[in-house]
Amino acid sequence: MFEQDVAGLIKALRANKNDEAAVVQRALDETRKEIKSKDVEVKAAAVLKLVYLEMLGHSISFASFAIVECMTSTKYHIKSIGYLAASQCFDKETEVAVLVVNLVKKDLLQPPTPLFSSSPSSLTVAHLSSTLSAVSLLLTPSLARDLAPDLLSLLSHSRAAVRKQTVLVMWRVVRSWPGVKELGTGREERGEDPWIERLRERLGDEDLGVVSATVNLICEMARKDPRKYLPLAPELFELLTASTNNWMLIKIIKLFAVLTPEEPRLVRKLVPPLTELIETTPAMSLLYECIQTSIVGGMLNGRDGEALATTCVDKLKSFLEDVDQNLRYIALVALVKILPTHPHLVATHYDTILSCVDDPDMSIRMRALDLVEGMVDRRSLQPIVQRLMSHLRPSSSSAANSTSAAAASLLQAQQSSDGAAAAAPTAVLSTSYRTSLVALILRMCSSDTYANVANFNWYIDTLVELSYISLSIALDPAAAQSAGASLGVKLRDQLVDVAARVKSIRPYAVKKMASLLGDEDFLENGEGADVSEVLGAAAWICGEYCRELQDPRPVIASLFGTSTTTSLPPRILSLYLHNGVKIYSQWLSALAENWEESSLDQIRSISTALEGQLASCASSADVELQERAAELGGLLELVRKGLDAPRPVRRTDSGGGFGSESLDPYDPEAEEQGGFGGSQQEGQLPPASLMLLDPLFSSHELNPVNPKAQSLVAVPEGLDLDAVLVPKSAAARREEAEGSEDEGEVDGFGRRIGGAVGRERDVPLGEEKRRKKGKGVKKSGGGKRRVVEEEDPEELARLKAERLERQRDDPYYVGSSAAPPSTIDDVDSIPIVQLDLNFAAPSAQRPPSPPPREPTPPPVHIDVDGEMPDGFELAPPVAESKESSGGEEESKEVAVETKAAEGAVTKVVKKKRKEPGAVKKKKSKAVKEEDM
């Protein structure tokens, strides 16, 4: 008798938790002895203990043969232990697995007696059931191939329980060995698929359990190859209309969801039964599967699907109003799928869906936000955004954080005791949710190039508020660094794009960006990438549209402040410097137009301050910042030096004298006051350097460019993109030609030393024969160069001297290693050039100022298309029209190809198909004109 059974082993392990290893080792030693016993009961008990130890992670490979011995027993409880141990422990590498094949085939083929028997040695259905259960776990490709014929024969077993279990085992067989579907049934001569025929027989089985198992098998296999199971559609449709088993109906409906894309004719057949199930079934699971199949199978499209779609949306509304959170969630998921095809039906439940945005369950909130994004329009955009902004504002969250949990519970208890309704618990908004909410607001407002935005002043205020909200998101320790950077980039792109596309909003946008740049709290609290990106966009807007600034001096002070240069990254700081100098240049130009001498000292002080700030930035380690600071510092130095240059006196004509238009005689007093010409001094003109910088930045207004603009620009005539930009001189070409033909001495750089000037290379073969006869090749009308046998040495020397002179003065040309011999022997004969280091005063004539902007009409104009190349215009949008009979809208695309000498450009123009009546009218009118 064995020393300990499996129950005693479990009790021993629980009693010795501190020394489990010793208990396990003692149990393994005992079982090694017990499996050698001749008593089958002792051996089975030892195998059962080993199964438990194998679950704890210990190897029991030494007991493989003992497990097979238990499988051969005729007693049901011992055979079941053997099959359990084999299914749990055997794998492809088990040596005794070969013995299992014949053993299993013997158990499968032996005809059983009734379900149960009083004789312990007789085989019953229970033995066969345990064998099938183990086979499903023991299957390998080779075992499945060997057992497939025997398992297929069991599909027609006399016992319904065996048929049902065999059908379920066939799914594991198909996965292990797909060739089972090719095994014949003896009726192949009629052209039937043997596998489909077997499944059709099981679908017509008299036992409902077998039919349900067959539907499960088909549903799983149809996911990979749905077209193969289309011949079973009639039997499945009959089960759909006749069965009352909800679980089987769910499987059949799921199966039709994958079959309808393969056979669209099924849609019209399935709409009536699905509509009846949706309207009558009380089961929520079956109702949702019917709605899901209607959506996925495309049954909601067309005129017949409109009624079904209305029914589905009405049923989903009851899901939304249910207290069960699971039903509300799946209803929102289904409405998201219905929204693209039937937005008008989903919009009827606008208030119910919008209430889900405030649900405490975060998953329900996210699905509701997906719906809200699709339902937004021009009228509902602002209310929806304001409601979403209430989730982002820190007032509620800060109040919730400041109040302790005890105080909150006490307040709730007082409210309940007073009879007041207890407030809903405030949901803790995660950083990822707040980040996705900001991105959602930006997507809704910018969709279709701001087609839903009616008030752009409100949108600019919203973007500024979102910039402040991004501070709390970036400072959250749980915030991801990538999410913060992405949020700042989105806000930056929106600010720049709105200011560029909507001209009427530029004054207000510049005003808000100027206040944002001057907010020290925003700069100090924002240490992340979000704030720097937003500040870079604000600097760009103020610099690009600086003419909209009322007083640019505070903005200049904000851009060149000391705190700014020490906290921002170099890339954003380079934007600050560039746009700050741009604003400064426009301010100088405005002062020059209305010049007052009192402004000179202020200009000097600001210029000196800016030069000092640029000088500090010029020593930065960042290359771009260093280069910009150096260039802009040089420009400001020119402006400052121009302030001290001599300036002409402004004169105005006065009455009298020869230069006057007055008819009065010459007046000596006027001559003494105003000079001979009758002019009168009114002070000096403004320094010409004040107008030096403004043309550099305001010569062209930056506007959005159409994405197709570059593709419409044809290559100009005569432009060869593969040609050399700087052609070589004739002497260099001759030297290369000689070097390729004659080998000689070369210097350290591989260049040939010495040698006479030879003939030019690349001469055609016919021209070379002419040269041998002493004839030169003249220049042809096609522009080919002239090829001569010998050129004038003096002409070559002159060309070489000119080339060397140009290269000597060219700072970007690196000369050869050998310096040319000097032609000047006497050093004293070198001429001395007097350098004038005094900056001459620039011309007093001011460059023409850019033309004033045209006033924006009251309706807001959005530059949706962007700029196009000269000579190209976008096709006007075609108005959609409907036929009088209520038919669908008709339009067609006509591709018009216009080919020019420089290349071909293709335009796609949408044209509306003309009505038949209009064509007849034109034809009759043409006939009348011909008759006349």
User: Per-residue pLDDT tens for 424-475?
Assistant: 444 567 788 888 899 999 999 999 999 999 999 999 999 999 998 888 775 4
pLDDT score recorded for residue 857: 40
**Has residue 94 been placed in a domain?**
yes
Q: Poorest-confidence range of 142-151, 454-463, 677-686, 746-755?
A: 746-755
Q: Give the mean pLDDT of 703-727.
A: 81
Q: Give the mean pLDDT of 472-495.
A: 67
Place of tokens 């936000």: 369
Of 238, 299, 305, 226, nearest to 264 (Cα)? Answer: 299
Rounded Cα–Cα distance for residues 200 and 182 (Å) = 16
Total residues found in the chain within this entry: 932
**Most distant CA atoms of the chain, gap in Å:** 154
- 512 DSSP 8-state letter: H
**Has residue 834 been placed in a domain?**
no
Q: Give the mean pLDDT of 195-199.
A: 90
State which H helix or E strand residue 128 sits in: helix 125-138
pLDDT score recorded for residue 117: 53
Q: What is the pLDDT of residues 215-270, one digit of tens each?
A: 999 999 998 889 999 999 999 999 999 998 999 999 999 999 999 989 988 998 99
Cα torsion 841, 846, 847, 849 to 10°: value is: 140
Domain of 107? 1-114+121-138
Q: Poorest-confidence range of 296-300, 534-538, 592-596, 849-853?
A: 849-853
Q: Read off the pLDDT band of 101 (50, 70, 90).
A: confident
Rounded Cα–Cα distance for residues 125 and 163 (Å) = 11
Q: Give the mean pLDDT of 691-718.
A: 84
Q: Read off the pLDDT band of 694 (50, 70, 90).
A: confident
Domain total of the chain? 1
pLDDT score recorded for residue 332: 94
Q: Give the mean pLDDT of 707-725.
A: 82
Of 524, 398, 518, 511, nearest to 471 (Cα)? Answer: 524
Rounded Cα–Cα distance for residues 807 and 29 (Å) = 97
pLDDT score recorded for residue 218: 94
pLDDT score recorded for residue 510: 94
pLDDT score recorded for residue 704: 85
pLDDT score recorded for residue 163: 92
pLDDT score recorded for residue 130: 82
pLDDT score recorded for residue 404: 41
pTM of this structure:
0.64
Q: What is the pLDDT of residues 7-17, one digit of tens each?
A: 888 898 888 88
**Has residue 361 been placed in a domain?**
no
**Has residue 11 been placed in a domain?**
yes
Residue 641 contacts residue 689 (beta carbons within 8 Å): yes
**Has residue 3 been placed in a domain?**
yes
Q: Is the pLDDT of residue 838 over 60?
A: no
Q: What is the pLDDT of residues 45-58, one digit of tens each?
A: 999 999 999 888 88
Residues of the chain above pLDDT 70, percent: 68
Q: Is the pLDDT of residue 417 over 70?
A: no
How many CB atoms within 10 Å of residue 841?
16
Residue 666 contacts residue 656 (beta carbons within 8 Å): yes
Q: Read off the pLDDT band of 722 (50, 70, 90).
A: confident
| DSSP per-residue string spanning 837-892 | -SPPPPPSPPPPPPPPPPPPPSSPP---S-B--TT--PPPPPPP---TT------E
pLDDT score recorded for residue 844: 43
pLDDT score recorded for residue 511: 94
Q: Read off the pLDDT band of 739 (50, 70, 90).
A: low
Q: Poorest-confidence range of 292-301, 458-467, 733-742?
A: 733-742
**Has residue 4 been placed in a domain?**
yes
Q: Give the mean pLDDT of 298-308.
A: 84
- Number of helices and strands in the chain (H, E): 40, 4
Q: Give the mean pLDDT of 883-906.
A: 38
pLDDT score recorded for residue 38: 87
Rounded Cα–Cα distance for residues 657 and 676 (Å) = 7
Can you read off the two tokens belonging to residue 122? Answer: 């007789």
Contacts of 900 by beta carbon, 8 Å cutoff, 6+ apart:
714
Top-ranked range on mean pLDDT: pick from 36-40, 434-438, 440-444, 910-914: 440-444
Cα torsion 550, 554, 556, 558 to 10°: value is: -140
Q: Read off the pLDDT band of 204 (50, 70, 90).
A: very high
Q: What is the pLDDT of residues 390-410, one digit of tens each?
A: 888 765 444 444 334 444 444
Sign of the C-alpha dihedral, residues 55, 58, 59, 64?
negative
Of 896 and 678, which is predicted with more confidence?
678
pLDDT score recorded for residue 762: 44
pLDDT score recorded for residue 582: 92
Q: Give the mean pLDDT of 57-63.
A: 87
**Has residue 391 been placed in a domain?**
no
pLDDT score recorded for residue 291: 94
pLDDT score recorded for residue 401: 44
Q: Is the pLDDT of residue 95 over 90?
A: no
Residue 108 contacts residue 128 (beta carbons within 8 Å): yes
- In one-letter notation, the amino acid at residue 238 is E
Burial class (CB in 10 A: 0-12, 13-18, 19+), 599: middle
pLDDT score recorded for residue 126: 76
Q: Read off the pLDDT band of 3 (50, 70, 90).
A: low
CA atoms within a 13 Å half-sphere pointing along the CA-CB vector of 705? 11
Phi-psi sector, 831: left (phi>0), alpha (psi -120 to 50), beta:
beta
Residues of the chain above pLDDT 90, percent: 27
Q: Is the pLDDT of residue 315 over 90?
A: yes
Q: Give the mean pLDDT of 618-628.
A: 89
Q: Read off the pLDDT band of 665 (50, 70, 90).
A: very low
Rounded Cα–Cα distance for residues 397 and 774 (Å) = 98
Q: Read off the pLDDT band of 651 (50, 70, 90).
A: low
pLDDT score recorded for residue 186: 57
Q: Poorest-confidence range of 340-344, 572-576, 888-892?
A: 888-892
Of 306, 303, 304, 239, nearest to 277 (Cα)? Answer: 239
Place of tokens 């097979």: 68
Q: Is the pLDDT of residue 685 over 80?
A: yes
Of 97, 88, 94, nearest to 143 (Cα)? Answer: 97
Q: Is the pLDDT of residue 561 over 60?
A: yes
Q: Give the mean pLDDT of 741-759.
A: 49
Rounded Cα–Cα distance for residues 627 and 614 (Å) = 10
Contacts of 347 by beta carbon, 8 Å cutoff, 6+ apart:
375
pLDDT score recorded for residue 682: 61
Q: Give the mean pLDDT of 770-789.
A: 43
Q: How far apart, in Å, are the Cα atoms of 393 and each of 109, 308, 386, 495?
A: 74, 42, 10, 20
Q: Read off the pLDDT band of 513 (50, 70, 90).
A: very high
Of 389 and 650, which is predicted with more confidence?
389
CA atoms within a 13 Å half-sphere pointing along the CA-CB vector of 61? 7
**Has residue 5 been placed in a domain?**
yes
Beta pairing partners, 752: 746
